[in-house]
Every structure is written in C-alpha cells, then in structure tokens.
Amino acid sequence: MEKETTSSLASLLLHLLFIFWGTSFLLQGFLSFEQDLCMTVKMLDLRMMSLEGLKTFSYLEELILDNNLLGNDLLLPRLPHLHTLTLNKNQITELESLLDHLAEVVPSLQYLSLLGNVACPNELVCKEKDEDDYQRYRYFVLHKLTNLKFLDTRKVTRREREEALVRGAFMKVVKPKDAKVGE
C-alpha cells in the first residue's frame, strides 16, 4: 500500500511540475530524481520535444502519449518494463515500422492502443474503412507483437491469436503508390 501511495504522489507531483514548468524542466531535472518512484507517465504536450528523456525511467510500466502530433519518426528509448502504451490520436501512418520498433524497445508490451491514427483503420475515424479492415489490422499487429493481451478497445481472443499466427504476416496493409499525372 505504501509503494502505491508513493507512486501516486510521485505521479501527481510529476503532472504538476509538467504543467507549471514545462517539458524541458521535467525531462532535464525532475525526471531522473523520480525514476524509481514513478511507474506511469502521462505526457501532456510533446510536439516540440524528443522522448529520449524517458530512458531514465528504467521501471516505467505505463506511458500515455495521446494527442501529441507524434508521427512516423516516433522513437522510444528501450523501456524493458513498459506493459501499457497508448498512442491514440497522433499522426502515425506507417504501421509496420512502428510495430518493428515497439517489438525491439518494449519487449514486455501487453496493452497497446493506436486509435485515431491513419495506421489504425477504424471505421469510426475513416468512413472508407470497415470492420474487416480493422480485423486485418488486428491480425497484423498481433503477428508482430505476440505478447499483446489487449489491442485498442478490445481484449485479444484466442481465435485472433491463432489467426494472427497463421495469416498475420499476410494482413499487412499496402498503400498504393501515388500515380503520376499523365500516365
């Protein structure tokens, strides 16, 4: 109970410092001081910064990076204990490179959410996509990140895991190359 209270207080303090002093202070000073106490980081505005400072959180378990205009150049440091990552409503369009990167730097990942990104073909975000597109996306993600227990808003089922094992590699979404005018 004491560790949970300490972790909650550290998380609250981290949020308050972030709000009042901004990103650079948080990552340059306080971040290294609190690395052993804080296991959850909720970043508020990362549009103008790198995620490199997160490497000092060696025991980070949860990271929420929603609504931060993060794109295909997203590079996380190695976070061996991270089990929950949300990247909702960013600007991620390239799924395979993201999944390969995540498999390398967050080996303990069990919960991932990518809703609101072009890379996640959700019919609520894009009317041209349907449930079949979304299910193929799930198979591909599960093929690449085999430890996931929860993807976006749904628990991973045994049937999905089996299907991903057999067909997941073939579910990659291929974007057509832009046709040149006059061809």
Q: What's the token pair of residue 96?
A: 């395979």
* Confidence band of 39 (pLDDT split at 50, 70, 90): low
Locate all alpha helices (DSSP H) within 108-154, ordered by sequence.
131-144
Q: What is the pLDDT of residues 27-38, one digit of tens each?
A: 433 444 444 455
Q: For residues 19-42, give the mean pLDDT.
A: 46
Q: For residues 69-97, give the mean pLDDT.
A: 95
Specify the pLDDT at position 128: 77
Share of the chain above pLDDT 90, in %: 47
Distance between CA atoms of residues 140 and 127, nearest Å: 21
| Bridge partners for 62 per DSSP | 40, 84
In one-letter notation, the amino acid at residue 123 is E
More confident residue, 150 or 173: 150
Q: What is the pLDDT of residues 134-160, one digit of tens each?
A: 999 999 999 999 999 999 999 999 999
Mean pLDDT of the chain: 76
Q: For residues 51-78, give the mean pLDDT.
A: 90
- Give the CATH number of domain 2-171; options: 1.10.10, 2.40.50, 3.40.50, 3.80.10: 3.80.10
CB–CB of 123/134 below 8 Å?
Answer: yes
pTM value? 0.71
Sheet of strand 150-151: strand arrangement: 40-42, 62-64, 84-86, 111-113, 150-151, 154-155
Specify the pLDDT at position 6: 47
Sorted by where each begins, the domain ranges of the chain are: 2-171
In one-letter notation, the amino acid at residue 176 is P
> For the chain, where are the E strands, in sequence order?
40-42, 62-64, 84-86, 111-113, 150-151, 154-155
Q: For residues 38-56, give the mean pLDDT.
A: 66
Distance between CA atoms of residues 62 and 84, nearest Å: 5
